Amino acid sequence: MGGFFGVVSETDCTQDLFYGTDYHSHLGTMRGGLAVMSPSAIDRYIHDITNSQFRSKFEEDITKMSGRLGIGVISDFEDQPLIIGSHLGRYAIVTVGVVQNLDDLVKSVFDRKGHFSEMSGGEINPTEIIATLINQEDTFAAGLERVHEEVEGSCSVLLLTREGIYASRDRYGRTPVELGRKDGTWAVTLESCALPNLDFEHRHTLGPGEIVRVNSDGYETLREPRDTMQICSFLWVYYGYPASDYEGVNVEDCRNRCGACLARRDNTEVDIVAGIPDSGTAHAIGYATEAGIPYRRPFVKYTPTWPRSFMPQDQGQRDLVARMKLIPIRDLIQDRRLLFCEDSIVRGTQLQDTVRRVFDAGAAEIHMRPACPPLLFGCKYLNFSRSRSLMDLAGRRAVRELEGTGDHVPPEYLDPDSEKYADMIERIRQRLRLTTLAYQRLDDLIEAIGIPGEKLCTYCWSGKE
């Protein structure tokens, strides 16, 4: 997915930029970048952060950077920020999202005899195609508006210019963009959790498609928000950081409500409730509180040297990292009936190993309660799951086994009260060797988030655009 942070200050911005960008490290695992507008140039550094934390790679770079304006980014694939020279002037750009019609946009540029630089492997950097769209217009605002009109998928953008930072939220608001202020300084961020420890106060949430220009005097709205919002629901379930708020709804608080919703529909007798660390923890606390069952930690997470396991492309690497960072506590497992809350079940491969390890440690029963419905459709808008095939998804695989094909999901599998839905869940339960398995209902998830369903993107569960 990725995240970005920008600063406009009356004094040097580099410290705020460094720490604000670092607060987005949970959103990406492969690339980090900073760019600062100095009096004579744009100073930029990009590093591979696959095996190192963002801070360790950039802590020396910021001592060489100085300026009042800067932008930073954490991303999963493409190098960013890019420095662009155009008729609009020299600027730096970072993006968050996914361009589904990249090939068509690239072809349209080639048809006009345009060109691109290349990423490794011969791929076009999606951020460069966004810059190319912007450069086809007479102003930055008009260029960002063109991005909204032509990109299929999603795209939020920061532009670092001599005039200030242009911030543009995706046309359907699939990712958040927030503004914060402290004396003489403004910040623009995807994660609002980046603001308080840097002494910024939240001042404005950009609406869907809204475009603003930020300078040390404040911000100016250049394009008013659109009416239609489809913010990603998975931000609250998994991706978002617990201290962040989106559309005024806190992530941790929402996860507690998700767990409570699961508990209200459950009467399973267990000894303890636990969360699969980390994002399952808040869901489990909500479940335990609602059900009046003790919350314990039969697994502890060792994080000093083991990064997130969600993103690596290689399944073997994902499994290894997942195993190494979760350490079981046998005294809390032996002969106990355990109920685990998890943010979601994507492929189920890591969870299958976790379940086996818990049983090996002496558990009497293991009950699993994912905080969202079964994932049946690949994300088209943010690519939160890098599954190479829909058939990697545990839910879609179960449908294929039951129907003989996974190319189409009959609507009965989306109805939690139907027989086919129950058959699908039973197939997943058997594969994972769980005692019981019960997923969150979509209507309960929407209630827990607290935003009208029509403003939420639930495509990965419902298949509705």
* Residue-level length of the chain: 465
Closest by alpha carbon to 367, among 421, 446, 287, 289?
287
Q: What is the mean pLDDT of the chain?
A: 92
Query: Which one is predicted more confidently, 18 or 324?
Result: 18
- For the cut 70, the answer to whether the pLDDT of residue 315 exceeds it is no
Query: Which one is predicted more confidently, 367 or 113?
Result: 367
State the pTM of this model.
0.93
* Span 127-140, pLDDT tens digits: 999 999 999 999 99
Cβ(164)–Cβ(213) below 8 Å? yes
Residues of the chain with CATH 3.60.20.10: 3-229
Say what the pLDDT of residue 310 is.
43
- Which of the following CATH numbers is that of domain 3-229: 3.30.1540.20, 3.40.605.10, 3.60.20.10, 3.30.930.10? 3.60.20.10
Say what the pLDDT of residue 385 is.
54
Q: How confident is the model at residue 12 (pLDDT cuts 50, 70, 90)?
A: very high
Cα–Cα distance between 179 and 247 in angstroms, integer?
A: 13
**Phi and psi torsions of 8, nearest 5°:** -125, 120
Residues of the chain with CATH 3.40.50.2020: 244-450
Cβ(238)–Cβ(344) below 8 Å? yes
201-205 and 326-328 strand pairing: unpaired
Q: How confident is the model at residue 279 (pLDDT cuts 50, 70, 90)?
A: confident
- Which of the following CATH numbers is that of domain 244-450: 3.30.70.1450, 1.10.10.10, 3.60.20.10, 3.40.50.2020? 3.40.50.2020
